[in-house]
Amino acid sequence: MKKYIIAITILIFSCKSNNAQETDTTSDQLIKQSTVILKEYLFFNENDTRVYECTFGSKESIDTVIIKTFKIENEESFYPWENDKPYFFISPNSFLGGTSILRNDSLFFKAVEKESSLIKLKSLEFKLLFPNIIEIGQTYNSVNIYDKKVEYTIMSKTDITILGTKYNDCIHIRKTEYWDKNKNVDNIWVAKNVGVVKWERSTGRVELLKKYIPNNSFIIEKTNYGPIYLNSEGKKIYESEMLESYRVNSDFSTAIYNDNGYLIREDFYGITGEMSVKYITYKYDNDGLLIQELYHYNASLEINSQPNKIWLNEYIYDEVGKLIETRYKFNIEDKEWDDSRKYDRLTQQGVSNLRYSKRHLLSR
What percent of the chain clears pLDDT 90, i.e. is strictly above it?
A: 54
Are 200 and 152 in a shared domain? yes
Are 268 and 176 in a shared domain? no
Q: What is the CATH number of the domain that holds 280?
A: 2.40.128.720
pLDDT beyond 70 at 24? no
In a domain, 321, yes or no: yes
Are 197 and 89 in a shared domain? yes
Are 198 and 233 in a shared domain? no
Q: What is the CATH number of the domain that holds 122?
A: 2.40.360
pLDDT beyond 70 at 15? no
pLDDT band at 158, cuts 50/70/90?
very high
Are 236 and 313 in a shared domain? yes
Sheet order of strands, 59-72 included: 127-130, 106-111, 98-103, 75-81, 59-72, 49-56, 206-213, 195-200, 183-191, 165-178, 149-162, 139-143
Are 78 and 189 in a shared domain? yes
Terminal Cα distance for the chain, rounded: 106
Are 67 and 209 in a shared domain? yes
Domain end position, chosen among 213, 237, 265: 213
Are 59 and 194 in a shared domain? yes
Are 268 and 349 in a shared domain? yes
pLDDT of residue 9: 47
In a domain, 27, yes or no: no
Are 67 and 128 in a shared domain? yes
The overall average pLDDT reported for the chain is 85
Domain end position, chosen among 189, 213, 237: 213
Provide the domain count of the chain. Answer: 2
- How confident is the model over 39-50, as pLDDT tens digits? 999 888 888 999
In a domain, 159, yes or no: yes
In a domain, 1, yes or no: no
Domain end position, chosen among 213, 239, 254: 213
Domain with 140 in it = 40-213
pLDDT band at 199, cuts 50/70/90?
very high
